[in-house]
Amino acid sequence: MLTLFAIPKPFHGHIGLIQSNAIESWRRLGPSFETILFGDEPGVAQAAADTGAIHVPQVKRNRYGTPLLSDLFAQAEARSRHGHLCYVNGDILLLSDFARSVRRIIHLKQRLLMVGQRWDLEVNAPLDDADDWEQSIRQRVHRHGRLQDPTHIDLFLFNRGLYGRIPPFAVGRTAFDNWLIYRARTLKAPVIDATAVAKIVHQNHDYGHTAGGAAWVWRGPEARQNFALAGGRGNLYTVWDSTHVMTPDRLRRRDDLGLGGGIWSYQRSVRLGA
């Protein structure tokens, strides 16, 4: 049904723990979900072996050694056995409501993109093996989770061939995620916001895995290059730039729901304290 693909960071300390949690949650989605893990960072091959994922060690990188999104997507499409793929960050927990959302759109014939806002949660222990592990996560998100703003997008579900050629963005740096929504909109593909029906759970972490820390990720030379490749601020779309919203009963056009859209609406809501 769907191929999930990701390029994890090295499996050290806390980041290793939450990545193991994430990949295990993908495995628990069921046999119709295939997973491909890219990269040769320490622990990736073992994580693939432990969860039955496909491991692809070689990915093209920039001069800083950072993987390139263009090669990641190209290899994933070439190796996937399904017509729909989902690029997901390696720290994201996916639950059964994500699987249900996938089943609702997988039969649609047109090209599309599905995204959603994430919920930030502190996680410091392995996933529970009990049958009610998912209910436990949901309860923790309800009590302690924080819905992140629509500029942070950690999951992209799309049809094979939707994007075509992708610029050589540095993975894990700013701007490329927002560009992926912009590009789908320019291609006239429906962009579906699944926030209301699927909990996308981001396990919080620091930026110790990056030599320059958070400043490098958001303002360093790779971030500036990504921004230039995206074509500037006007091409940085958010989840609120979706054309459709998935509700519990059906897909609805965002305009019909009277929902605001875009980075400008988001920035205005922040200024007004909405």
Structure tokens at 81: 């056995």
Nearest Cα neighbor of 28 from 98, 124, 107 is: 98
Task: Please tell me the distance from the alpha carbon of residue 205 to that of residue 123, in angstroms, as a whole number.
Answer: 9
Residue 217 pLDDT: 65
Percent of the chain with pLDDT over 90: 84
Q: Which of 127-131, 137-141, 243-247 has the lowest mean pLDDT?
A: 127-131
- pLDDT value of position 209: 54
Does residue 94 contact residue 51 with C-beta atoms inside 8 Å?
no
Q: Which is higher by pLDDT, 231 or 259?
A: 231
pLDDT (average), residues 20-35: 97
Give the pLDDT confidence of 145-165 residue by residue, as tens digits: 999 999 999 999 999 999 999
Contact by Cβ (8 Å): 36, 4: yes
CA dist 2 and 179 (Å) reads 22
pLDDT (tens digit per residue) in 112-133: 999 999 999 999 999 999 889 9
More confident residue, 227 or 261: 227
Beta bridge partners of 6: 37
Residue 207's pLDDT band, with cuts at 50, 70 and 90, is: low
Residues with Cβ within 8 Å of 40's Cβ and at least 6 positions away in sequence, in order, are: 57, 58
- What mean pLDDT value characterizes the chain? 91
pLDDT at 256: 83
CA angle 174, 19, 172 (to 5 degrees): 10
Instruction: Collapse the DSSP code of 246 into the 3-class scheme (helix H, G, I; strand E, B; otherwise coil) and give the result.
Output: strand
The answer to whether residue 202 scores a pLDDT higher than 60 is yes
pLDDT in the model for residue 272: 32
Q: Quick one: average pLDDT of 134-141?
A: 96
pLDDT tens track for 41-81: 999 999 999 999 999 999 999 999 999 999 999 999 999 99
Please check the confidence at residue 139 and state whether its pLDDT lies above 80.
yes
What's the pLDDT score for residue 94?
A: 98
pLDDT score of 220: 87
Q: 3-class DSSP state for residue 245?
A: strand
Residue 212 has pLDDT above 60, yes or no: no
In the chain the domains, ranked by start, together with CATH numbers, are 2-272 (3.90.550)
Distance CA(205)–CA(220), nearest Å, equals: 19
- CA 85 to each of CA 2, 139, 167, 196: distance values in angstroms, whole numbers, following the listed order: 6, 29, 19, 21
